[in-house]
Amino acid sequence: MTRRSRSRKPRTEVGTRSDLPHPSPLRSKALLLFPEAVGYHPSLCKEDPGTIRQVTCKQGYLAIVKTDRTVIVYDRAEDGGCQGSLKRIKLNKGAKVDLLDGEASHLLILSSEGKLSEHSIASRGVHSKPRLLKELGDKRIVQIACGDHHSLALSKGGELFAWGQNDYGQVAARREINAVKEPRLVWELGGIPLAKIAAGSAHSMALSVFGTVYSWGKNAFGQLGLGDTEDRCSPTIVKALEHEKTAFLSCGGEHTAVLSKDGLVCTFGDGSCGQLGHNSRRNELLPRLVAELFGARVSQVACGRWHTLVYIADLGEIYSFGSGAEGQLGQEGKCDRLIPLPIGREFNRGDMSEELVKIIAGKNQSIVLLLKEKKSYANLNRTIARVEEEKTDKWVSNSDPNCWQTMKQDVKLIFSSAACINGSFVERSRAKHFRTSQEVAAVDMSAVLLFHEKISTKPKVFTAVINALKILLQSVFDFPGSPEALRVFLIVPILLRRQDSQSDHLLLELAQAIWFRPQKEKQLLESLWANLEIAFFKDLVSIYQRLATAKLSSLIEHTRYPEETLQVVLLLHVLRMLYEVNCRRSFRIQESNFHIPGVIKMLALPDILKGVELLRELLAFPFIFEMEVKVFLHQAACNTLNMMANFGTTSELLVRRQHLVQDTWQSLRNANRGHQALRVRNQISYLYS
């Protein structure tokens, strides 16, 4: 994150600047538009803010979701006309509108049931009905975002879908694909718990629960924050924002703004109109702190196409910067502002709370909405499903069969999704989850253990979790690995620590999923293991050690080859990864925790050849042998070599008495048989000079 300008506290007064009006209270009017509602239908001025659930003005038209869950779209009159058109939209079958967003050509409308519909802006008629996006099937959508010609949708199950034009890779499809007509899963973000999505003109952004920012699409002005101007066709981590506690992001036409948990604002991308707030018109290729806002805690940020708004609740002020060509900065005059300046009016800080003020920025429009009640505005940041303490208590305490069916669906949704599991059990104390990295998983393992203990006493809930995990483990191979996505491999074993056949079978599948992941991802997982608390690391080792012991005992007793041999080997591969982690961490737990008793019994198998063959397989994992077994195997190997040597050839070593050692080693080197030279009988012959 770049910091160039001198830090200063935001101005709370405009000062003596003649081009700005004197502050005036906002309480007299609860819906403020900058510029004013010129060219819109007259009924817009009569809208009661108390009946407004959401308002958006992204693409030059203004759309309002009413509290009765209907939509009104106001088009501004063109060519200087005095009155634009008005259109009312209702969903089919009496469905209620929850929220919306708009592209240049159509609106995306989300129902309260999570179903998504499209509505063409070009459709005529005062009353019109949108088209349901059946391609999403039964997916319940929680967030939507629209660019100029592309759309994003985040499901409650943690899946991100994208569709529309792909000229710059903004829907995360291959470069040769110009457009994606139907919602397509963004595979590269599979398993990552997303908290917020946003879309610019032709670029896309996503924010994870852990504060990691991903960007893709058009990058001509550096709006992806990656330090260059190369377009990306797949989500890429914005490294400059790692560990900056990013909590919110907003996209303008060609610029991006991010807000941290501590109220700091960073901007990057196109700065031609001053919309970055850095007192210049330069583009920024990397996130840069808006120094004029440093020292105040910003609570909201909103990007228009060429301007930016921020709200500072502590000061009761809204600041604006960027293009003012249409009067969208809320100040007299229509010049650009290169630094954040107050809009010229002041809130009554004693009466207003953060939740009662909403700022909205659109193409060339700014809107301030003063709400009458808290939480009356639509929640635009709904989260994906996750395990919560209150929710868990309901699961384990409810006995009503009618309620249980709904809860069962919730359990299935969470535990069949890697993203939902990864978004659960987050270690939030001291904002640890914002420090997630290749070494820190930010998993609250105590919470995972407590959850397991709770559901273990409720067979109905435990069975529902197990059934959902079966679905998960069929797809866990399919997402790319990142520290955030790999958290699932820390959480799931604890959920399966109960010793029963179903849990053991799923642990085997999990071991297989771990072993067949790419080497780089296995190294990432080992780093996460290495930073677990000792008690939980030991618990993880004991889970795999117990199962490997049980499978090996079963194999010895029932002599089932080769399927059980493969199962044992898979488990031992995972156990070896854990053993190597333990070695690198200076033996955090004793080596005896990795030992598997009873290995020597294999030599007593009815089929001795099978026993020797199996023992040979296990020799690749020497850490599982107890010391007496290691000594026995060493002696057996020595005896075998001696027997082989007695029946083999004899090698003659020619040496001189005065150079005995030197000549012996030289003769062995000349034999050119490597370590095999030590496995034959050697006869020494002395040379006399």
The pLDDT assigned to 140 comes to 96
The set of long-range contacts for 494-498, using a CB threshold of 8 Å and a minimum separation of 24, is 494/445, 494/448, 494/449, 494/452, 494/536, 494/539, 494/540, 494/543, 495/415, 495/448, 495/451, 495/452, 495/465, 495/469, 496/469, 496/543, 497/452, 497/539, 497/543, 498/452, 498/456, 498/462
**Rounded CA gap, 260 and 241, in Å?**
10
Q: Which residue, among 450, 455, 466, has the nearest Cα to 397 in the 3D structure? A: 455
**Rounded CA gap, 254 and 440, in Å?**
34
Report, as an integer, the average pLDDT of 570-596.
Answer: 91
Look-up: residue for tokens 């006995």?
399
Report whether pLDDT(413) > 70: yes
Burial class (CB in 10 A: 0-12, 13-18, 19+), 54: buried
Tell me, what DSSP letter sits at residue 346? B
The pLDDT assigned to 7 comes to 40
Considering only 49-53, 616-620, 643-647, which range has the smallest mean pLDDT? 643-647
Confidence band for 9, pLDDT divided at 50, 70 and 90: very low
Confidence band for 649, pLDDT divided at 50, 70 and 90: low
Q: Give the chain's radius of gyration (CA, Å).
A: 33
- Report which of residues 441 and 434 the model is more confident about: 441
The pLDDT assigned to 8 comes to 40
The pLDDT assigned to 268 comes to 98
**Rounded CA gap, 345 and 331, in Å?**
9
Element (H, E) at 541: helix 534-558
The pLDDT assigned to 14 comes to 35
Fold of 31-370: Methylamine Dehydrogenase; Chain H (2.130.10)
Report, as an integer, the average pLDDT of 330-339.
Answer: 87
The pLDDT assigned to 53 comes to 92
Cα–Cα–Cα angle for 166, 167, 171, rounded to 5 degrees: 25
The pLDDT assigned to 87 comes to 85
The pLDDT assigned to 669 comes to 76
The pLDDT assigned to 441 comes to 77
Considering only 246-255, 306-315, 471-480, which range has the smallest mean pLDDT? 471-480
Report whether pLDDT(26) > 50: no
Neighbours of 454 (CB within 10 A): 17
Report whether pLDDT(516) > 70: yes
Q: In 3-state terms, what secondary structure has residue 184? A: strand
Domains of the chain, by residue range, sit at 31-370, 389-625, 650-687
Element (H, E) at 566: helix 563-584
The pLDDT assigned to 475 comes to 81
What are the helix and strand counts (H, E) for the chain? 13, 30
Confidence band for 460, pLDDT divided at 50, 70 and 90: very high
Q: Mean pLDDT across the chain, nearest whole number?
A: 85
**Rounded CA gap, 408 and 411, in Å?**
5
- Report which of residues 14 and 289 the model is more confident about: 289
Considering only 202-206, 267-271, 406-410, 648-652, which range has the smallest mean pLDDT? 648-652
**Rounded CA gap, 643 and 497, in Å?**
47
Task: List pLDDT tens digits, range 481-492.
Answer: 788 899 999 999
Contacts of 261 (CB under 8 A, 6+ apart): 211, 245, 246, 247, 431, 434
252's tokens: 């303008």
The pLDDT assigned to 42 comes to 75
- Tell me the CA end-to-end span of the chain in Å, nearest whole number: 79
Report, as an integer, the average pLDDT of 107-124.
Answer: 87
| Helices (H), ranges, 365-444 | 389-397, 401-415, 418-422
The pLDDT assigned to 503 comes to 93
The pLDDT assigned to 290 comes to 97
**Rounded CA gap, 496 and 427, in Å?**
21
Considering only 110-124, 340-354, 545-559, which range has the smallest mean pLDDT? 340-354
- Which of 71-85, 212-226, 627-641 has the largest mean confidence? 212-226
What are the C-alpha distances in Å from 561 to residues 504, 508, 552, 599, 607?
A: 19, 17, 11, 16, 12
Confidence band for 13, pLDDT divided at 50, 70 and 90: very low
Task: List pLDDT tens digits, range 242-277.
Answer: 889 999 999 999 999 999 999 999 999 999 999 999
- In the Cβ-directed half-sphere of 432, how many Cα atoms lie within 13 Å? 11
**Rounded CA gap, 174 and 115, in Å?**
28
122's tokens: 């070009």
Report, as an integer, the average pLDDT of 426-442.
Answer: 69
Look-up: residue for tokens 């397989």?
617
The pLDDT assigned to 524 comes to 92
Look-up: residue for tokens 């089919």?
92
Considering only 209-213, 267-271, 620-624, which range has the smallest mean pLDDT? 620-624
Report whether pLDDT(323) > 60: yes
The pLDDT assigned to 605 comes to 58
- Report which of residues 672 and 321 the model is more confident about: 321
Report, as an integer, the average pLDDT of 361-371.
Answer: 90
- Cross-strand partners of 269: 255, 284
| Helices (H), ranges, 201-316 | none
Neighbours of 32 (CB within 10 A): 20
What are the C-alpha distances in Å from 414 to residues 387, 525, 602?
A: 7, 22, 43
**Rounded CA gap, 284 and 281, in Å?**
9
Would you say how long the chain is, in residues?
A: 689
Look-up: residue for tokens 């693409």?
59
What percent of the chain clears pLDDT 90, i.e. is strictly above it? 53
DSSP secondary structure string for all residues of 82-144 = S---EEEE--GGGPPEEEEEE-SSEEEEEETTS-EEEEETT--SSEE-PEE-GGGTTPPEEEE
Helices 563-584 and 608-618 meet at what angle, rounded to 10? 30
Report, as an integer, the average pLDDT of 146-163.
Answer: 96
Look-up: residue for tokens 């009924």?
43
Report, as an integer, the average pLDDT of 531-539.
Answer: 93
**Rounded CA gap, 561 and 97, in Å?**
59
Element (H, E) at 164: strand 160-165
Confidence band for 5, pLDDT divided at 50, 70 and 90: very low
Report, as an integer, the average pLDDT of 308-335.
Answer: 90
**Rounded CA gap, 178 and 486, in Å?**
32
The pLDDT assigned to 27 comes to 44
Tell me, what DSSP letter sits at residue 361? E
Report whether pLDDT(645) > 90: no
Cα–Cα–Cα angle for 581, 583, 589, rounded to 5 degrees: 90
**Rounded CA gap, 206 and 215, in Å?**
7
**Rounded CA gap, 387 and 204, in Å?**
28
- Which of 444-458, 478-492, 590-604 has the largest mean confidence? 444-458
